[in-house]
Amino acid sequence: MRFIAIPVLLLANLSLFSGTAGAEAADGPQVAGPVGAVAQVQSCGCADSADLAARLKAVQAVIQLLDSPATAQAGREPFDASTFDSGLGEGILTAQMTAGGVGAVMPVADFDRYSCDITTVPFLGGSACSVQSLTAQFGVRQQVCRQSQSDGQGSDYWEGRMMSEVIRELRAAYAAEEAFINQQLARLTGTACQGSLQSPEPVPPVKCRNCLQYIMEGTQTFPVVGRIRMFSNSTISVTVNADGRVTGSGTILTELDMTGSPCKASGYNGVADILVSGQINGGVLDAFIDQLAGQTTSAAMRITCPPSGVAQSLPQQQFYEVKQRLRVPGPGVPYTEETIDLGVQTGGAMFGMIVLRLYLTGN
């Protein structure tokens, strides 16, 4: 099943392993403090839980890569900046995005191998919690960098080292971030967050003979903008033909909720005309949900926040394409349902779930 969803709000910054600092925000980057100080601050809240869980998968994938025999073999060579980015550096980024989604790359900070500075650029995406998570990793690297630089600046401190030393440093750095995330997740699963971490209230069934009920609940939290929630509960009527072919059409309405955010959105249109098709074989329906050909399902959305004005400007990028095998309801069974992980299907752009319910009567 593939789902390309709603707005992709995260901007990927692939400079996390470069020798220079990342892009600057309008007001300039901020130099972060040492990792020990960061670990004492508890800025991670209940809304950060999904982001932390995705980032944990990404970090653990990198640790697995660094522990692999292939990486150990590469450790026998001297460090070479000209091949690192296209080799192990690219492999680390790919492992993060594959395991945790694009959002798990967290474009919020960078580390400079020349000055040993950690710069944070929170307006590029992520929250204060995600900045702390990444700084927990960079803090380890900063300490090694400062120990390696007699004057604290001037040259890439990895030059002249064996790759095995670089790999050990990265392994320790990602382990520090893993420990930070596990600590925060353990704290957030306490009584203070139990209500926030529970699944949404059950959605009641609809009354129809033959239809597909599409339920979606997705959230993401960003700096300045805050929490964005998108949800849908739409029903599409279908017809079952004598040969088992299923066809139908209808409308999915995805609503935008920014309650609690100081920001306002304009231009958003969550209405999408949808076609449903599929074939019933052996008690299952292989269903295909797609938007009407050539339809623009979401106008460009503009998010403005006080006092600075524009925070995000998003192009037309709401698309639907779902392929899912659904069980056909048996006698006396009103419907069957399948749940889809929204975080996996959107590459970390949002977190939540999609529920597809199939109602068929008299087949």
Average pLDDT on 128-145 reads 89
Q: In the predicted model, is pLDDT for residue 300 greater than 70? A: no
- Is pLDDT at 27 greater than 70 in this prediction? no
CB contact burial 253-290 (16+ within 10 A = b; e otherwise): ebebebeebebebeebbbebebbbebebeeeebebbbe
Sign of the Cα pseudo-torsion (215, 127, 110, 116, in order):
negative
Q: What is the pLDDT of residue 349?
A: 64
DSSP state of 312: E
Write out the residue range of the structural domain in which residue 291 sits: 201-359
320 assigned to some structural domain? yes
- Mean pLDDT computed over 115-131: 70
Given 132, 167, 193, the domain boundary residue is 193
- Asked if residue 154 and residue 230 are part of one domain, the reply reads no
What is the arithmetic mean of pLDDT over 280-293?
86
**Taking residues 243-261, what's their average pLDDT?**
88
83-87, 273-277, 329-333, range with the lowest pLDDT: 83-87
| pLDDT tens-digit map of 170-218 | 999 999 999 999 888 887 765 455 444 344 557 888 989 899 999 988 8
Give the closest residue to 175 by CA, choosing from 67, 60, 97, 93: 60
Where a domain ends, among 132, 164, 193?
193
Side chain identity at 7, as an amino acid letter? P
pLDDT above 70 coverage of the chain, percent: 69
Which two three-digit tokens encode residue 127? 């929250």
Instruction: Check whether residue 232 and residue 106 sit in a common domain.
Output: no
- What b/e sequence results for 306-320 when a residue is b if at least 16 CB atoms lie within 10 Å of its CB, and e otherwise? eeeeebbebeebbbb
Looking at the fold, whether 222 and 148 belong to one and the same domain comes out as no
Are 5 and 342 spatial neighbours (Cβ–Cβ below 8 Å)? yes
What number is the average pLDDT over the span 154-161? 87
Within a domain: 8: no
Residues 111 and 258: their CA atoms lie apart, in Å, by 33
More confident residue, 359 or 262: 359
Domain boundary, last residue among 170, 193, 216: 193
Q: Do residues 171 and 187 both lie within one domain?
A: yes
- Structural domain count, the chain: 2
Higher-confidence position of 100 and 237: 237
Mean pLDDT score of the chain: 75
Domain match, 189 and 205 both: no
Q: What is the mean pLDDT of residues 245-253?
A: 92
The number of residues in the chain equals 363
Q: Same domain for 113 and 242?
A: no
Token pair recorded at residue 185: 């997740």
188 shares its domain with 218: no
Domain contains 303:
yes
Is 15 part of any domain?
no
Residue 44: inside a domain: yes
209 and 352, same domain (yes or no):
yes
Tell me which residue of 72, 80, 87 sits closest to 158, measured CA to CA. 80
42-66 pLDDT per residue, tens: 568 776 777 788 889 999 999 999 9
Is 222 in the same domain as 162?
Answer: no
- Domain-embedded: residue 13: no
User: 137 with 242, same domain?
Assistant: no
Amino acid at 359: Y
Stated pTM of the model: 0.52
Each residue of 90-109: pLDDT tens digit? Answer: 899 888 888 876 667 755 77
Q: Which residues pair with 353 in a beta bridge?
A: 217, 341
* Strand residue runs (E) in the chain: 30-31, 109-111, 118-120, 211-222, 226-240, 245-253, 255-257, 264-266, 271-281, 284-291, 301-305, 309-314, 321-327, 336-341, 351-359
> Locate tokens 């593939």: which residue?
2
Band of residue 271 on the pLDDT scale cut at 50, 70, 90:
confident
Q: Which of 32-41, 133-142, 164-173, 345-354 has the lowest mean pLDDT?
A: 32-41
- Residue 208 falls inside a structural domain: yes
- 24 within a domain of the structure (yes/no): no
Query: Do 183 and 68 share a structural domain?
Result: yes
Same domain, 56 and 125: yes
Mean pLDDT of 126-140: 84
